[in-house]
Amino acid sequence: MYKAASFGLFRAPSALLLRASSAAPPIPKTLTPSSLIGSRSSSYSKSCSVWQRSGLGSCASWRYGSDWRSPLSLRAQIRSSAAVIERFERKMATVATENPFKDILTGLSKPGGGEHGKYYSLPGLNDPRIDRLPYSIRILLESAIRNCDNFQVTKNDVEKIIDWENTAPKFVEIPFKPARVLLQDFTGVPAVVDLACMRDAMNKLGSDSNKINPLVPVDLVIDHSVQVDVARSENAVQANMELEFRRNKERFSFLKWGSTAFHNMLVVPPGSGIVHQVNLEYLGRVVFNTDGVLYPDSVVGTDSHTTMIDGLGVAGWGVGGIEAEAAMLGQPMSMVLPGVVGFKLSGKLRNGVTATDLVLTVTQMLRKHGVVGKFVEFYGEGMGELSLADRATIANMSPEYGATMGFFPVDHVTLNYLKLTGRSDETVSMIEAYLRANKMFVDYSEPQKERAYSSYLELDLADVEPCISGPKRPHDRVPLKEMKSDWHACLDNKVGFKGFAVPKDLQEKVVKFDFHGHPAEIKHGSVVIAAITSCTNTSNPSVMLGAGLVAKKAYELGLEVKPWVKTSLAPGSGVVTKYLLKSGLQEYLNKQGFHIVGYGCTTCIGNSGDLDESVAAAISDNDVVAAAVLSGNRNFEGRVHPLTRANYLASPPLVVAYALAGTVDIDFEKEPIGVGKNGKNIYFKDIWPSTEEIAEVVQSSVLPDMFKSTYEAITKGNAMWNQLTVPATTLYSWDPNSTYIHEPPYFKDMTMAPPGPHGVNDAYCLLNFGDSITTDHISPAGSIHKDSPAAKYLLERGVDRKDFNSYGSRRGNDEVMARGTFANIRLVNKLLKGEVGPKTIHVPTGEKLYVFDVAMRYKAAGHDTIVLAGAEYGSGSSRDWAAKGPMLLGVKAVIAKSFERIHRSNLVGMGIVPLCFKPGEDADSLGLTGHERYTIDLPSNISEIRPGQDITVVTDTGKSFTCTVRFDTEVELAYFNHGGILPFVIRNLINSQK
């Protein structure tokens, strides 16, 4: 029996609401930059503590009248509503008056006297089970204890976490309140759009729309996703920045408006760096000190690579933008208590082996082990051999190995990094003291107590060898010594993740062309894009300076990158530029064409920019399988560039090496990279730096002042950002002619009564997929193809092709994004019987049209649609548009073999039903072609649906089969009942005001 919950069905007693509103000071509109590190001493912090002292739990929770459980808990009692309300109000009057764990609230003394603050002491529980908990689970435990009010978070929830060894295998549900929310530019725009729309909806429903404000600290980083228009140029940064501001001025202005219209939101201006690196070097607190209460930093972010912060010992992972918005608005997150894989590291990396080689090895191991939906926690004596940057590199790629996060508990390496990056000695001292006192610090100089894990893996670092991954997936690791043979196997293999099916007689074909008056040639495997790109590696000085050393050695030996290779360097923060300049290595990177193009996402997100026309023509006219080599984390088909069918992930030094070689069809151990001075053959070993060489230049070039000066400049903004003017209004004035910011129809005709659950009746199959359909296949990403429905929409509104920009830059316009959904040029749809591309079959007529056009035909005729899919549906980046887009196309359900964690949650958040085939079954084994019509008979009463229940799907051909409904928690059922998470929040807020 679930305890009573509000969820908009009941409202809090007016006395409690009056008490809350009279006790809490107003929340300020701005954040104090100086309070970002270690504490937030703002009036907002004080208001939080007032709420806590007044017995109302976490900040403003009662004000928003929400509980993490669903209305299911009340259904059996609703028939006698008067009695229920009376009991409910009595409970409200007695529950949450004080934290039941108040007795373990303990002061943390300073060495010289006084207190750092107070904290909820885990040792104070005197429970031996805590000593066996993984450190990552202890963070969940502390959050539950601190936020426990026996209503939103109960003592039973705390017990579930303490008893993790026994409860985790049972997939129990727990509430979690992260300390903050992190928004990235591309996902931040739709989040702010949705907040603005929610304000409008509440305003239209006659409620106080100003209640829509983030209730936890929100860090929004405009990470300046640079379209690499200007590459080989000394002024590339300024030129690209000016282009970005010209193209995206409206989007940037909108976000600047959001920073003033919504309280508790910090916006980091464009040009500062990529969100994950800024989070690691600057925003990460490790321990919060909010008005004298100490607690661990934790964060959920709207980009899946939020996990990079786990390398700093901060629990963080990616969630959908929809889920993040709910967390911002005070909704506790409901999650399944995860299993934790213990990953033991021993030994030391060999000379010449990079952190990238390590992370690609770890990615392959964990993907094979199976860690989807789990935490991975690293431990062992090998930890001392890994720098913080190495750890962050491994943590960054958690989405690629499928884990919720790859966590590195705080130790002395973490503390040293905090000092290096400019955190004060006092702050670092407080962090260490708190974590030691609360059993969250690892001291490898002391005997280690045995911790329990769900399963175990082990890697001797000495076994790691140089490698790259590709040509189409990040976990398809290839040892460097096997690369040439693997490449030829890919040419031979049938089309697939490891195949291109190039006929034998065409594999050695050489295409000669004229490159600006000079002879040039390419063939299968020729490198045409070489990018040291942000995110995974640019936070790591060893590989960045290693790349500079490769460039220097090669230049001095007489090797240079061919001019038709599009080279670029996009650091994750200005700190990288500072240490590359101090070391003198940026000069040599420039000489090899690796000029700095900007600070943010580039090639990894598809912002590679156009190839030179002569190169593009040579590839297209001769069907060349051209290659890109990049130091990012994503290499899915069609993502990097439409003309590079082979894309390999590699360390920054290897990116430079492959750019110099000009091809991936090379055995670095036996074949020369090129011919240097005096006609001498130059080999890989001649240009590869030793570990000692790299360590020496890191030691002399990476200095704390670089971090301090870089991030002090962030708070001042830049000239272009500071010149943007925005209206001082809380409601946004939507421009119907805008092609960047558009009011979406999510709340059109919204009523106060929830619509209830919906089944699917006689639906057509819009698309029929196989395995590993990623969010890159689903969600609009990269450039807008000139013949696509999105291009047609923009052209009709007077936008020139040169100003199309990218899908990411237009995420605030649902009209563009709906047209770009399923628009990936590498989409493999079984309805097309072998043809690749963004089209599908309109079943009633048999016509082949763009997916958007077919979807609109079905919608106009009043027909529902579904999607059939294989395993790992929705893997890749956590993109809310991968769920928003299908919803706008009219998709009511997705039936797949399995789902990626975040994407399944996003589908639920948009009211789409996720269904899983039974083990051993899929569309093919059931004889489904996608030409059938599908009926999914879900009960119309939400009380008759339960998480994980089986339902029957019936087709018009007489076939029927059983599926599992993937509503995994009671909360998700509540969202579905309301038509999605955002309508649920609005109704909840309005009810709380009554």
* Domain assignment of residue 728, yes or no: no
Q: Which residues pair with 783 in a beta bridge?
A: 806
* Domain assignment of residue 195, yes or no: no
* Domain assignment of residue 433, yes or no: no
Ramachandran quadrant class, 724 (left: phi over 0; alpha: psi -120 to 50; beta: rest): beta
Q: Give pLDDT, residue 994.
A: 67
Pairwise CA distance, residues 211 & 209, whole Å: 5
Q: Which two tokens stand for residue 65?
A: 């009248």
Q: Which residues pair with 646 in a beta bridge?
A: 627
Pairwise CA distance, residues 764 & 741, whole Å: 32
For residues 645 and 762, membership in a common domain is answered with no
| Percent of the chain clearing pLDDT 90 (strictly above) | 64
> Which of 590, 562, 592 is closest to 674 using CA atoms?
562
For residues 667 and 766, membership in a common domain is answered with no
DSSP string, 792-829: HHHHHTT--GGG--BTGGGTT-HHHHHHHTT--TT-B-
For residues 668 and 772, membership in a common domain is answered with no
Q: Give pLDDT, residue 97.
A: 53
Q: Give pLDDT, residue 222.
A: 86
Rounded to the nearest integer, the mean pLDDT of the chain is 86
For residue 814, is pLDDT > 60?
A: yes
Between 127 and 717, residue with greater pLDDT: 127
Indicate the residue among 657, 682, 701 that finishes a domain.
701
For residue 41, is pLDDT > 50?
A: no
For residues 476 and 565, membership in a common domain is answered with yes
Question: How many beta carbons lie within 10 A of that of residue 171, not counting itself?
Answer: 15
For residues 639 and 769, membership in a common domain is answered with no
Please, are residues 665 and 532 in contact by the beta-carbon 8 Å criterion? no
3-state helix, strand, coil in the chain (%, to 5): 40, 20, 40
Report the amino acid identity of residue 638: G
Residue spans of alpha helices (H) in 425-557: 425-437, 483-492, 541-557
- Mean per-residue pLDDT for 114-125? 96
Q: Is the dihedral of CA 574, 575, 579, 580 positive or negative?
A: negative
Q: Which residues pair with 965 in a beta bridge?
A: 915
- Mean per-residue pLDDT for 362-366? 94
CATH number at residue 650: 3.30.499.10
Helices 236-261 and 185-204: angle between axes, nearest 10 degrees: 30
Long-range contacts of 491-500, Cβ-Cβ distance < 8 Å, separation of 24 or more:
491/524, 491/625, 497/472, 497/473, 497/772, 498/471, 498/472, 500/524, 500/625, 500/645, 500/646
Q: Give pLDDT, residue 515.
A: 96
Please, are residues 817 and 851 in contact by the beta-carbon 8 Å criterion? no
For residues 638 and 544, membership in a common domain is answered with yes
Between 518 and 173, residue with greater pLDDT: 518
CATH number at residue 928: 3.20.19.10
* Domain assignment of residue 423, yes or no: no
Pairwise CA distance, residues 164 & 673, whole Å: 54
* Domain assignment of residue 395, yes or no: no
DSSP string, 362-425: HHHHHHHH--TT-EEEEESGGGGGS-HHHHHHHHHTHHHHT-SEEE--B-HHHHHHHHHTT--H
Indicate the residue among 652, 679, 701 that finishes a domain.
701
Q: Give pLDDT, residue 116.
A: 95
For residues 767 and 661, membership in a common domain is answered with no
Highest mean pLDDT among 175-189, 262-276, 686-700, 976-990: 686-700
For residues 694 and 629, membership in a common domain is answered with yes
- Mean per-residue pLDDT for 765-791? 91
- Mean per-residue pLDDT for 25-35? 30
* Domain assignment of residue 66, yes or no: no
Pairwise CA distance, residues 183 & 328, whole Å: 10
* Domain assignment of residue 534, yes or no: yes
Residues in the chain, how many?
994
For residues 767 and 650, membership in a common domain is answered with no
905-930 in b/e form (b: 16+ CB < 10 A) is: bbbbbbbbbbbbbeeeebbeeeebeb
Q: What is the DSSP letter of 769?
A: -
For residue 429, is pLDDT > 50?
A: yes
pLDDT 10s digits, 452-502: 999 999 999 999 999 999 999 988 999 999 999 999 999 999 999 999 999
Q: Rounded to the nearest 5 degrees, what angle is found at the Cα of 30, between the Cα atoms of 25 and 32?
A: 100
* Domain assignment of residue 654, yes or no: yes
For residue 70, is pLDDT > 80?
A: no
- Whether a cis peptide bond, with omega within 30° of 0, leads into 471 is yes
Q: What is the DSSP letter of 59?
A: T
For residue 532, give its domain range.
Answer: 471-701
pLDDT 10s digits, 206-264: 888 888 889 899 999 987 566 677 778 777 878 878 888 888 888 999 999 999 999 88
- Mean per-residue pLDDT for 182-193? 88
- Mean per-residue pLDDT for 572-577? 90
Total domains, the chain: 3
Residue 944 contacts by C-beta under 8 Å, 6 or more apart in sequence? Answer: none
Q: Is the dihedral of CA 591, 593, 597, 601 positive or negative?
A: negative
Q: Give pLDDT, residue 878.
A: 62
For residue 895, is pLDDT > 90?
A: yes
Pairwise CA distance, residues 922 & 542, whole Å: 46
For residues 697 and 765, membership in a common domain is answered with no
Q: Give pLDDT, residue 198.
A: 92
Query: How does residue 59 score in pLDDT terms, banded at 50, 70 and 90?
Result: very low
- Mean per-residue pLDDT for 787-791? 94
The lowest-confidence range among 89-103, 380-394, 758-772 is 89-103
For residues 853 and 940, membership in a common domain is answered with yes
Q: Give pLDDT, residue 51.
A: 28
For residue 812, is pLDDT > 50?
A: yes
For residues 598 and 688, membership in a common domain is answered with yes
Query: How does residue 34 score in pLDDT terms, banded at 50, 70 and 90?
Result: very low
> Which of 970, 953, 887 is closest to 916 using CA atoms?
953
Indicate the residue among 146, 174, 202 that finishes a domain.
174
Widest pairwise Cα distance in the chain: 95
Pairing mode, strands 510-515 and 518-523: antiparallel
